[in-house]
A and B are shown apart, each in its own frame.
Chain A
Amino acid sequence: MTEAAALSPETVMRQMKQNGVTDIVWLPDSETNWLFLLMQADPDLRLVGVTREGHACSIAAGLFAGGKKPMILIQNTGMMESGDSIRGWLMGLKVPIVLMVGYRGYTRHGVNTDTAATYTERFLMAFGIPFYLVENDGDADRISIAFKEAEKIQGPVVVLVGDEYHGFNR
């Protein structure tokens, strides 16, 4: 069986553009080096770097209030640290937004040894946040599905990027 291509940063960028993203509020993680370079080179995309992931939620809420379409790009560790900000600034203010979350520790083939991965989906289920797993380019349309769902529910939807170990980093 042929494996689908790894998730490429170009594919993620294409999804962002197709869905009208204007601003990326983000904190670097180990999945996104190449995506950063592409985003930085795009004159139509504003990058707002934060120092702690929870800050991204209120910034994104403010951008939304002012008519922009932000996306949040963080790692699962930071997402869990951001619980109260997700609750208050995104769910409470009914901000339709996609969070692309690096799924640190995820592996579909072996035994998980990273508690960051252990608690990621449990966290999302506890908060009632819909989520989609994206592992390679063949899954990319799930990103657009997440954007549509965020609009439908007027709240946050998470795309888990399960690609830490192959390709997205080059």
Chain B
Amino acid sequence: MMYTAEVLKVFERHRGDSIVISGRGGKHWMAISDTVMDIPLGDPAMGGHSGFGLGLALAQPGKKVVLFDSEGDILMSMGQLATIAEQAPANFYHFILDNEVYATTGGQPVPNSKHVDYAMIARGAGYPRAYNYSELDQFSAELSGILSKPGPVFVALKVWPEVENTPIGQRVRWRKRSSDKVVSDVRAALGAA
């Protein structure tokens, strides 16, 4: 098991000029980077981050698009994997943070949490490369190689859950920009606005 914050610190060393959709790692990624090329969307509707990442990657083939998704999102939208594999964006790097639980609702386990092999599912859906990691040392050693080859690539990372139990209304809001502002900012930065 790894800590999400540590995983993201390792990734930050290899980020380059990629667009980062911080997804379920958003709170920790914001402490590392919060530019117009960072896309913290919160949770517009669960299961959709992989679709957003696909769309952005297709629209911007000259830029690496990196997504930190989750196992709960994947389980909710498994069909997205087939769509991503069919479109096969070479610039799309799809990580999932697998904490085995629904952390924001109190830590209830996702179905069959200990036994789902997400990399195998991604390969079965047609991703040409897919990996599982549970140790930070191994992930650190191999990340550069993963990012140096074309996507779509899928990387499942086992992380410790960070369960939130306070009522949603009492939680500290970590995002500084609204979701639509994040989108308009990146469109402007990409010359699309």
Q: How many Cβ-Cβ contacts under 8 Å join chain A to chain B?
A: 128
* Interface flag for A43 (CB, 8 Å): no
* Interface flag for B152 (CB, 8 Å): no
B92 to chain A, nearest CB (A): 10
Task: Name the residue of chain B whose CB is nearest to the CB of A46.
Answer: B58
A63 near B48 (CB under 8 angstroms)?
Answer: no
B44 — which chain A residues lie within 8 A by C-beta?
58, 61, 88-89, 92-93
* Interface flag for B31 (CB, 8 Å): no
**Complex: how many Å from CA A85 to CA B41?**
14
Q: Mark A80-98, 1 if CB is under 8 A from B, else 0.
A: 0000110111001111000
> How many B residues face the partner with a CB closer than 8 A?
35
**Complex: how many Å from CA A94 to CA B45?**
14
Mostly, the B contact residues are helix
Task: Name the residue of chain A whose CB is nearest to the CB of B21.
Answer: A62
Q: Mark B63-94, 1 if CB is under 8 A from A, else 0.
A: 00000000000000101101100110000000
* Interface flag for B56 (CB, 8 Å): yes
**Complex: how many Å from CA A59 to CA B47?**
11
Indicate whether A55 sits within 8 Å of B59 (C-beta atoms), given known contacts A62-B51, A89-B48, A92-B44: no
B172 to chain A, nearest CB (A): 21
**Complex: how many Å from CA A165 to CA B86?**
32
**Complex: how many Å from CA A70 to CA B59?**
10
Indicate whether A70 sits within 8 Å of B55 (C-beta atoms), given known contacts A61-B183, A65-B186: yes
A interface residues, Cβ below 8 angstroms from B: 23, 25, 46, 48-52, 54-68, 70, 84-85, 87-89, 92-95
